[in-house]
Chain A
Amino acid sequence: MTATTTLSVNGQAVSASVEPRTHLADFLRESLNLTATHIGCEHGVCGACTLFVEGRPVRSCLTFAVSCGGADVRTIEGLQDDPVMARLRAAFTAHHALQCGYCTPGMLATAYDIVTRLPGADEARIREELAGNLCRCTGYAGIVEAIRDVLAQGPHAHEFAQLARTAPSGAKAPALAAVAAPESSLPQQSASADEEIVGGVTLSRSVTVQASQERLWSIISDPMTVAKCFPGAKVDSVSPEGLVAGSFTVTIGAVSARFAGRGKVAFDGVAKSGMVSGMGDDGASRSRAQGKVAFSTAAEGADASLLVVDITYKIIGPLAQFARARLIAEIVDRLLKLFANNVQLLAEGKDVSIETGGFGLSMLLGAMVAALRRALFRE
């Protein structure tokens, strides 16, 4: 589906039909052939796509074209005759402030903002303001020198209008939920759950449940019941040999994913302990989580017992580089608390409460959340 957006690009009125998911940089490059705006990381880190909306620098990869209705957009092409930009171009040339030129449009946009907004900026402030634009060629020295040079020629007036944003008139909101999100396809294959977890991280936790050890054991020795206590967990089948097939649906913040896989459950009814191991794949992130949970119970008097859990996990695939142990530990702790609450409710003969939002037990969950923040900016 598409929506019509009307905006001003370099002083020219433009009306175009765009998909809502098209970001401004793609719209300018693909629809208007304005290729001076470069696309680097596409998640707001590198600064190559920086341009002006309403006279202020923004990341065009984090700005949807459809949200720019009525806005004034300026790209490097539109500043060809701008006197401040002319001084910046001359200074960039004189100080060798570029080599390959990929970062340069974004650097010039940020430099324009610095020389017009911060007339008294010293070198430290220039470097601080440039922190959001990455250059892999110059080592920044030439860029900083060029900006200092232009600042010394100042003060510079912002040569194009910094308009107050006007609400788009007559913008038609697309019908609610007109587009169904595609079903994510999950890999069919699943590796053996028995594989040794080489290089895994282990977390040890214990929770007290106000129930006798017998009662606790009767609850946690049934995989279906255990799954019921973990919001987001779903067990499809349990074979007599202890092979489990199921999935975890995970929703945290804006992220929702479903990890499907197979596992193995083994119980030791005498020691009242057990082991769950499994592996799950997430099609969307092309990543895999491998985990092993050893659990045991101990009596703490007649009416209380201790559940001891040792979790070993490993993440393989694109998300692995983002996994941070402490963040995962926080999520595991929150999950165990929910789990313990639900076990407690069952022990008291009540039904379990499943929190809305389907917060589930995937180690990948932590990895995904961590993945976001490394890459991402705050709102």
Chain B
Amino acid sequence: MKPAPFAYHIASTADAAAAALARAEGRAKPMAGGQSLGPMLNLRLARPELLVDLSNTPDLQGAQVEDDAIVYGACVTHAQIEDCVVPDPTPGWLSAAARHIAYRAVRNRGTIGGSLAHADPAADWVNIMMALGSSVLVAGPGGARAIAASQFMTGSYTTALAPDEIIAGLRILRRTPDARWGYWKFCRKAGDFAQASASVLVDAQRGDICILIGAIETTPAFLSDPEEILAGRRSIRDAVAQALPGRGDEGLGLHVAAVTRALAIARGERD
């Protein structure tokens, strides 16, 4: 339960981190809060030769306020979002979701950028950032680029990041209180990984409507015809079954429940 030896580098800037990763030619790993990579190192499932520590990198911290969005540095922690230490671009949706990520001791170190880079299919931010139409801001030797959150995760634990790129931040669009939102997940125990999760967004002002299901062992999936589902003309079960082909009732049940409850939250029928 002790990590294999590795060299250690504290990155002073995002670009310096990317340069260090590029020099290591795939034998290095970036680490933000280390709450996912840490266990993998301790279990020796991950054995990088070099660890590039981003947790204190100044340009990955804090939030920048833009007209239409708020940009979180990749190393903003779940606890900072929970405590509203950084401004919430939504009417409290992010703060409420952050509170239920793992445990407080994990939230104090775990980061939003790290969670997206780890790309666990059951992770909360993977689902929520996709549903909110956020962009992932990436730094690397080839220059900065932005990737839509819906294009970022390419499969379980797999992302569009190149080995020498890191997430610099997240651009999250502002949402007004007129917009409706629901997020619900099923966990066997408080703080455990979700076995099903669903986001519902209805933002008439921006014209954004989506229903997204997560914790499906791959990239979260948008349900087709969300307007019809919201209007009660399309069955949730049919829509979920279409998004998850080949699963029997047993495999669909939790996901149908998650969508039903997220919809109820978005309609204000339950907390």
A interface residue numbers (CB < 8 A to B): 1, 3, 19-21, 23, 26, 42-44, 47, 50, 53, 56-59, 61-64, 66-67, 69, 109-110, 113, 127-129, 131-133, 165, 167-168, 171, 173-182, 184, 252-257, 284-285, 324, 326-327, 329-331, 334, 356-357, 359, 368-369, 371-379
Contacts and interface: CB of A to CB of B under 8 A. Distances in A.
A174 B11 CA distance: 11
Nearest to A131: B190
26 contacts: A21-B4, A21-B6, A42-B42, A44-B35, A62-B34, A64-B38, A67-B53, A131-B190, A132-B105, A133-B103, A168-B56, A173-B8, A174-B8, A174-B9, A177-B23, A177-B24, A177-B27, A181-B47, A253-B40, A253-B46, A255-B45, A284-B44, A357-B158, A369-B156, A377-B103, A379-B35
A376 B1 CA distance: 13
A378 B5 contact: no
A20 B118 contact: no
Interface string B30-71: 001111111111111111111101011010000000000000
A327 B156 contact: yes
Contacts of A129: 103-104
Given A64-B34, A376-B40, A131 B56 contact: no
A184 B34 CA distance: 24
B152 to A, nearest CB: 14
A53 B115 CA distance: 21
A23 B158 contact: no
Given A21-B41, A61-B42, A377-B35, A181 B110 contact: no
Nearest to B101: A378
Interface in B94-120: 101-106, 108-111, 113-115, 117-120
Interface residues of B, number: 75
A371 to B, nearest CB: 7
Q: Which 3 A-B pairs have the closest CB atoms?
A: A379-B114, A132-B103, A20-B8
Contacts of A43: 1, 38-39, 42-43
Contact of A256 (B47, B102, B103, B162): B47
B10 A373 contact: no
Contacts of A173: 8-10
Given A42-B42, A379-B114, A379-B115, A373 B218 contact: no
Given A173-B9, A181-B47, A377 B37 contact: no
Nearest to B100: A128
A67 B38 CA distance: 12
Contacts of B113: 379
B118 A253 contact: yes
B36 A255 contact: no
A84 to B, nearest CB: 17
Contacts of B56: 67, 69, 165, 167-168
B204 interface: no
Contacts of B20: 176
A175 B189 CA distance: 43
A179 B9 CA distance: 12
A251 to B, nearest CB: 8
Contact of B7 (A179, A252, A253): A179
A375 B39 contact: yes
B45 A371 contact: yes
Given A369-B156, A373-B122, A42 B1 contact: yes
A377 B7 contact: no
B53 to A, nearest CB: 5
B4 A255 contact: no
B149 interface: no
A372 B10 contact: no
A41 B119 CA distance: 23
A29 to B, nearest CB: 13
A250 to B, nearest CB: 11
Contacts of A376: 35-36, 39-40
B92 interface: no
